Structure 1
Amino acid sequence: MSPIVAHPDVRRMLMRMRSLTDAARAIAYSLAHAIDRQHDAGAGEAQVDWAQRAALLTPVAKAFATDVGFEVASLGVQVHGGMGYIEETGAARHLRDARIFQIYEGTNGIQAIDLVTRKLGLGDGLAFKALVDDLRSMIADAQAEDPSLAPACEPATAAIGELVFAANWLTRAASEGRQEDLLSGATAFLRLFAIAAGGALLLKAAGIEVDAPAAELRRASAHAFAVDELPHAAALRIAVIQGGRMLGPVTPSVLALMQES
C-alpha cells in the first residue's frame, strides 16, 4: 500500500496549503517591515510614505491571512480523509478554530471596504502605485536571478496588470459616486490584491540564493502559487467590475423570496 502522499491530488493539496501559507506570511512580513521603517524614518516624507504603505497593506494582510487560514485548515481535513472529520487527528478542531479569525477585528468584508474606500486612494493613489512598482521590480529581479522562475513570472506579471486595471476602475467608480459598484467589488478586489502581491513576494523569496533544500522549497511554493492561484486574477478582475450587476436584480421582492426559502 502506498502512502497518500504518493497520490498527485494529495501532493496538489499539500502544495496549495504551503503556497497559500507562504503568500499570507510574506504579506504579513511586508506589513511588519513597513511599520518598522515608518518608526525608523523619523519625521518627513519617508515616514509618510512608509505609514501609507503600512495602512494600504493592513486590510490585505488581515483578510487574506485569515481567509487562507480557513482554506488551509479545510484542505487539512480533506488530506486526512474521513479521519480528518473526527476528533482523533485534530484537523477538524483547527478548521473550527480558524473560522473566527475571519470575523475578529472587523469582518473581512469590512476590511475590503476599508481597502477600497480609504486605503486605495492614499496619497492621491501614489501609495498604491509605489507598491505596484515594487512588486513589478520583484518579479523582474527574480527572473534575472533565476531564469527557471520564468514560467511563474509570466502569470505574476499578468496578475499585477489585472490588479492595476481593477484599481483604476474602482478609483473611477469612487470619483463618479458609484457607491454600489465600489462596495460590491471590494471583496473580490482584496483577494486580487493579495494574490498579485503574494505571487510577487513568493518570487522574490524564491530568487534569493540560499542553500538547498530551503531554496528548492521556496521555488516549489512560488511555482505552485503561479499555477493554482495567479490564474484567478483575471476572473477576480471581472468580479470587481461586474459586482454591481450581480446585486442589481436583488430587488425587495427577491430579498423577500430569499427570506422565505
Structure 2
Amino acid sequence: SHAIDRARVAEGEAAANWRDRANLLPPLAKAFSTDVGVEAASLGIQVHGGMGFIEETGAAALYRDARIAPIYEGTNGIQAIDLVSRKLPLGGGAHVHRYIGELKAMADAVRTSNIEGFGRTADNLDRALADLDEATRFLQRLLADGKADAAMAGATPYLRLISLAAGGAYLAQGGLADRGRVALCRFFAENLLGETRALKERVIDGAESLAAAGKALIA
C-alpha cells in the first residue's frame, strides 16, 4: 500500500519505480504470509497434542481456516509463477536488483549500528541477500534464453527465498527503530535465514531433477 500511495503522488521515473514496486511485492505478501499462517496453525495442533486434533480446543478449526488462504485469491503456486515470469522482468530486469540493493542497505545499517543484541544478524542477512541475488540472476538468464519451463520449476522456492530475505531485512529495520524488536530480528536471522542457501540451490539445480521425477511418476 505504501508503494501504491507513493506511485500516485510521484512523477516521472519515480512514479514508474513505485508502480513497479507495487507490482513486485504482492506475491510475497500474499503467498509467504499465508504459507506461514498454515505452518503456525499446524504447529498449534502439534503443541496441543491429541487434543489439538479434535474440535474441543478449536486448534483444528484454526488450521482449516488458515489452510484455505494459500488457495484462494490466486493459489500460491500461481503467485510464484507470476513473480518469476512477470515481476522479475520489470524495468528490464533492473527493478528487482534495486530492491535487493535497498535490502542490502538495511543489512549494512545493522552492521554499522554496533547494537550488541543483533548478534550475527548482519552476517546472516548478507548471506541471505547474496543467495537471493544469485538466484535472481540465474532465473533472469533462463528467461532471457527462452527457458521459461526451467525458470518456472524454481518459482516456488524462489518466492520463499525472496520473502525470507525481505522479511529479515524489514525486521532489522524495525529493530533499528525500536530496540524492543532486536531480539525478534535476531531470532529470525539465526533460525530462519539459514534456509536461503538450500532454497537457492533448489532454484538453480532443481529443474532437471523435477522434470525427471515427473516422468518417472507418470511412467
1:205 matched to 2:168? The reply is no
Unaligned runs of 5+ in 2: none
- Alpha-carbon distance in structure 2 between the residues aligned to 1:229 and 1:191: 11
1:112 matched to 2:80? The reply is yes
How many equivalent pairs are there?
A: 218
- The match for 2:192 is 229
- Give the one of 153, 156, 168 matched to 2:137: 168
**Could you report, residue by residue, the CA deviation over 1:100-138 in whole angstroms, capped at 9, with x for unpaired residues?**
110111111111111111101100122111111110111
Displacement of 1:243 after TM fit?
1.9
- Alpha-carbon distance in structure 2 between the residues aligned to 1:170 and 1:151: 29
| Contact 1:192/1:233, CA 8 A, preserved across alignment | yes
| Contact 2:42/2:63, CA 8 A, preserved across alignment | yes
Q: Helix, strand or coil: the match of 2:212?
A: coil
| Contact 1:60/1:194, CA 8 A, preserved across alignment | yes
- Alpha-carbon distance in structure 2 between the residues aligned to 1:251 and 1:89: 40
1:195 matched to 2:164? The reply is yes
TM-score (norm 2): 0.94
- Give the one of 105, 117, 126 matched to 1:157: 126
- Give the one of 195, 208, 211 matched to 1:248: 211
- Give the one of 77, 82, 103 matched to 2:45: 77
RMSD of the TM alignment (CA)? 1.5
- Alpha-carbon distance in structure 1 between the residues aligned to 2:163 and 2:124: 14
**Could you report, residue by residue, the CA deviation over 1:175-219 in whole angstroms, capped at 9, with x for unpaired residues?**
11112210100001000000011111111101114xxxxx43x22
| Contact 1:181/1:241, CA 8 A, preserved across alignment | no
- Give the one of 135, 147, 155 matched to 1:178: 147
Counterpart residue identity of residue 202, structure 1: L
- Give the one of 136, 140, 144 matched to 2:108: 140
- Segments of 4+ in structure 1 off by > 4 A? none
- Alpha-carbon distance in structure 1 between the residues aligned to 2:159 and 2:144: 19
| Contact 2:84/2:139, CA 8 A, preserved across alignment | yes
Shift in alpha-carbon separation, 1:164–1:87, aligned structure 2, 3 A: same
- The match for 1:127 is 95
| Contact 2:154/2:206, CA 8 A, preserved across alignment | yes
- Alpha-carbon distance in structure 1 between the residues aligned to 2:159 and 2:5: 23
**Could you report, residue by residue, the CA deviation over 1:129-154 in whole angstroms, capped at 9, with x for unpaired residues?**
11111101111113333422141111
Shift in alpha-carbon separation, 1:152–1:251, aligned structure 2, 3 A: closer
Displacement of 1:61 after TM fit?
1.0
1:239 matched to 2:202? The reply is yes
Unaligned runs of 5+ in 1: 1-31, 210-214
- Alpha-carbon distance in structure 1 between the residues aligned to 2:63 and 2:8: 36
Percent of paired sites with the same residue: 45
| Contact 1:143/1:150, CA 8 A, preserved across alignment | no
- Alpha-carbon distance in structure 2 between the residues aligned to 1:251 and 1:184: 12
- Alpha-carbon distance in structure 2 between the residues aligned to 1:54 and 1:129: 15
Displacement of 1:227 after TM fit?
1.8
